[in-house]
Amino acid sequence: MSSVSNGGPGKGEYRFFVRWAGRFLCTPWETRAAITGEELHEEDVIYTQWNGRYRDIVARTAYLQSGNRKLEEPISPGSFDPWKTTDEELSARTTQVVVCPGCDGEKTVVCPTCAGSGHVTCSSCGGSGRAYSSRSNKRVQCQSCRGTGRQRCSCRSGHITCPTCNGVGRVRRWLELEETPFQHRKKLIRLNHDLCTETPAGVKERDVLPPAPRVAWKGKAVTEAPADLQSWFVHQSLVFSPDARHERLDEVGVEIFDRDLVETRYHLAWQNGCVARVGPKRTVIPQKGSSLPFIIRLVVLSVVAILVYSLGMAARSGYQGRHEFYADSANASLLVLASLVLSAAATVLVAVMLNAGLRARRRLVYVPASVMGLTIILGAVAALTGNPSIGQAQELNAAGRADEAEAHAALAIELGYDVEPCKELIDNIKVDRVMKAATLREALAAAYVDFSSPETRKTVETRLLVLALAEIREAQATGNYATTEYTVNELPERMRTRPDVAALLQTAHINKLQRCINSMDTDCTKELFEKLVRAGTSLETIGAYRQLIDRDYQQRFKTKWAVCELLGTPEEKLPCAVEAEGFLVYAETFGARAEKDGTASTGVAAKIESLESEVAANEAKAREEQARVEAAEQAKAERERLREERAEKRRQAAAERAYSASRARCCDGSVSPSCGCGGGRGCCSRHGGVCGCT
């Protein structure tokens, strides 16, 4: 019987179907809107139950106290009918002495521990033959297995006493009955439709059946059942044929349930589907292809959401790629939010279009479409705005944030917005910094770039020159001439040629030249002479310093050479003469007579060569004496080594003699009277083997 439902049940009737569709991430309002109709069917669910007992004859065995009784052939359990005898009768008629089935009369079986080999893996070394020694702190030969990796099994021979007969070889055997109950339940669903109504996994049977059956009967035999029910017991799906030898029926029964089945049809994502809802709880039973519309919907929505979000993020990446200024801007965050909103709105719109029931409601289409359009407009506005401008830079400067204002104006110039006003603002900011600077270094740091207008550049250079002259004069007044050149070099190139700056720089060079002459620094002196010539210093000034060098260092040479003549050994005279020669070379290089005679005196050079020859001869003699002493020490060390080797050999020989004279100690603690520490074949064989030495 079947009927068609046109109006459909209320929302409460769909709760189990909505819950089933929720596993595919389908919302309740989508699920209800997708339903196109329902059809009610009635079906019969028939259960037959067969209760009985299963009886069999089994053999039992027990130990014998002695093995003198006569052996008999075992009686087969098949010789008796389990339903025509009793335990007492079977025990009396079948008790006999038979060969042990466990060992076939051999009294022993293979040891399960060693599998018949008589040896097992050593428990101390794990079979490797080497174990860790705490005394030597390294791995040594295992004392338990003597390096073999195996130990004697506790069975000794590879066999153990048979556990079935306890080593007698025969057992007492008898037969006895073993009975267990059984229950068989058969199910048949009589359909008047082509739907599948098998109970899903995880669903209890009582949830898909009415509380009570329409027909219920129990009895001792099928023949006692009413005539209209006897046909169910012989039905192909409900019949049960017991084993005539082992099984006996005690009770049979039948139950017939009337069950309503609601077929729910729906259309979603261009596909039709249906499910069956059965039982008082309307449990959902999926049909073939029931989940296909929901899977297609889920795949389409996922693709749309990912695609729209990816397009939004691509637009954001393009916005950020214009310049690093846009990377962390607020508009970039707004574009991310717009991408999320656009993706959600597109997903809702596609979900509505995939559902025919929702598509018929026009406002459900207009709302997400309107949200998408508004989001696209707002995203476009965000992408086209947020550029740096002169107004923002001026606001920052007015608020006392000059660094940020300068950076913002420079960024606007780089991106091509308000170029000329931004350049003017940057010039004004730098002029303010230069004017407020207390030192030249601060002023130079504030004016590290070129200015856009010549007037601004001239104002800044004037301020730099004032600060530079003040610092140089203050330093030279205190005798500090070293910073003059550094300060002048920091000034722009066109400012270094001014007469007042050049005069101060020449004073510093002359002061440094005097220090170079006093320290006899050749490179420094040469460099300062070149700088003075390039700076246009008069020849009279340079000549005066050359005469000073010539007179001073000629006198230093004579004084030093007189001191060298008073020294005793050539080793003491040589460094003194070299130092004196340096004075002479410096004087002849930079002095007034440098252009006439540019080399040191040949007599001084010959004297130094003579001293070098004497020093070299003395050093050769010292090396020969040192080599002789080292050879004598090596010979002495070799004799000591040979003496130690002979003493060590004597100690080893004494230790070996003592070891050979010692006795072997057995593993049970006794001392072998005939075996030494080296052991040997048969040593301590009755005492557990050799485990040490006395």
Distances from the Cα of 611 to the Cαs of 27, 496, 557, 572, 603, in angstroms?
A: 109, 53, 18, 10, 12
Q: Which residue has the tokens 């030495």?
A: 693
The pLDDT, as a whole number, for residue 365 is 84
Per-residue pLDDT of 57-106, as tens digits, reads 898 888 887 656 688 888 888 888 888 888 888 888 888 888 888 888 88
The pLDDT, as a whole number, for residue 526 is 64
The pLDDT, as a whole number, for residue 208 is 76
Can you tell me the mean pLDDT for 634-654? Answer: 88
Does the structure show a pLDDT above 60 at 336?
yes
Question: What is the end-to-end Cα distance of the chain in Å, rounded?
Answer: 103
The pLDDT, as a whole number, for residue 596 is 45
Rounded Cα distance, 22 and 284, in Å: 13
Does the structure show a pLDDT above 70 at 411?
yes
Residue 59 in 3-state DSSP? strand
Rounded Cα distance, 297 and 305, in Å: 12
Residue 504 phi/psi, 5-degree rounding, is -65, -40
Per-residue pLDDT of 459-513, as tens digits, reads 776 777 677 777 667 666 666 666 666 666 666 666 666 676 666 666 676 676 6
Higher pLDDT, 344 or 538: 344
Does the structure show a pLDDT above 50 at 676?
yes
Helix (H) or strand (E) holding 675: strand 671-676
Does the structure show a pLDDT above 60 at 136?
yes
Per-residue pLDDT of 562-621, as tens digits, reads 777 777 777 777 777 777 766 666 666 666 555 444 444 556 666 776 777 777 777 888
The pLDDT, as a whole number, for residue 123 is 84
Rounded Cα distance, 529 and 142, in Å: 88
The pLDDT, as a whole number, for residue 622 is 81
| Stated pTM of the model | 0.48
| DSSP string of 286-326, one letter each residue | E-TTSSHHHHHHHHHHHHHHHHHHHHHHHHHHHHHTT-GGG
Does the structure show a pLDDT above 80 at 295?
yes
Neighbours of 172 (CB within 10 A): 16
Rounded Cα distance, 480 and 471, in Å: 11
Confidence of residue 9 (pLDDT cuts 50, 70, 90): very low
Residue 249: which of 53, 55, 83, 56 has the closest Cα?
A: 53
Residue 197: which of 335, 313, 43 has the closest Cα?
A: 43
The pLDDT, as a whole number, for residue 597 is 46
Can you tell me the mean pLDDT for 445-453? Answer: 60
The pLDDT, as a whole number, for residue 1 is 40
